[in-house]
Amino acid sequence: MRIIGLTGGIACGKSSVSHLLSNMGAYVIDCDKIAHEACAKGSWGYNRIVQAFGREVLGSNGDIDREALSCLIFQNVSARRKLNTATHLPIALELIRQIICSWLSFRFLVVVDMPLLFETGAHKWMNMTILVCCKQEIQVERLMNRDKMSQTEALNRISSQLDQGRKMELANMILDNNGSKSDLEEKVKVLVTQISRNTTAWGLLTSPLTFSLLGFSIIACLCNRTY
């Protein structure tokens, strides 16, 4: 089994790469989706968030008001740390479960799509990491078109994330997404060919127990991380 960490800055095209990898046979674990489900009403993560922030982060229907929570943590490091403490453990446990499920279903190329891959330190537990990146002016244009942001809002959102240059230093492989969708698809095809070699053989020799232990190490890392 090979576990690939996939990340990228906002509006760089990480989700597009994730979708392409899934279509090409990779078992993709979407950490954004896991995080969303971990905060669903009545869940363990939901209760931990309410305990951390109080009922003011709830909407009129009792669900987490994600927009209000996002605004709260956007430029508040302390609040962001509280949210991470509340949600990382439920997310990590589900991540472990999905990795084991992929092994049991003979899906030996696993892609962990994680926006905060480097920020949480989870990249240390991957076989390799892939960073999807693009020029800042393209990021800004995409954010303005996609999310209807002003240029200032887009730049603020980009600057709130870990610097792309630092991510490039940490990544094992970089996917440049400055071109067209067809250009990106060709790059992903080449990437899959490169990383698929001997993946099945490695998967058959790899025990779920190994990845359970790996997973619990990730939990320890996430729960003790401060940033």
What's the pTM? 0.81
Q: What is the pLDDT of residue 214?
A: 57
Q: What is the pLDDT of residue 151?
A: 95
Q: What is the pLDDT of residue 10?
A: 95
Domains of the chain: 2-224 (3.40.50.300)
CB atoms near residue 87 (< 10 Å): 21
3 state DSSP class of 221: helix
Calpha distance 104→18 (Å, rounded): 22
Q: What is the pLDDT of residue 207?
A: 45
Render each residue's pLDDT in the chain as its tens digit; 227 residues: 789 999 999 999 999 999 999 999 999 999 999 988 988 999 989 999 999 999 989 999 999 998 888 888 877 888 888 888 888 888 888 998 998 888 888 888 899 999 999 988 999 999 899 999 999 999 999 999 999 999 999 999 899 899 999 999 999 999 999 999 999 999 999 999 888 775 655 554 454 445 555 555 555 555 555 44
Whether the CB-CB separation of 143 and 187 falls below 8 Å is answered with no
* Tokens of residue 169, six digits: 């230093």
Q: What is the pLDDT of residue 198?
A: 59
Q: What is the pLDDT of residue 223?
A: 58
What is the DSSP annotation of 20-79? HHHHTT-EEEEHHHHHHHHTSTTSHHHHHHHHHH-GGGB-TTSSB-HHHHHHHHHT-HHH
Whether the CB-CB separation of 143 and 157 falls below 8 Å is answered with yes
Residue ranges with strand state E in the chain: 2-8, 27-30, 109-113, 128-133, 173-176
Q: What is the pLDDT of residue 52?
A: 92
Residue 201, CA distances (Å) to 28, 129, 205 in order: 19, 20, 7
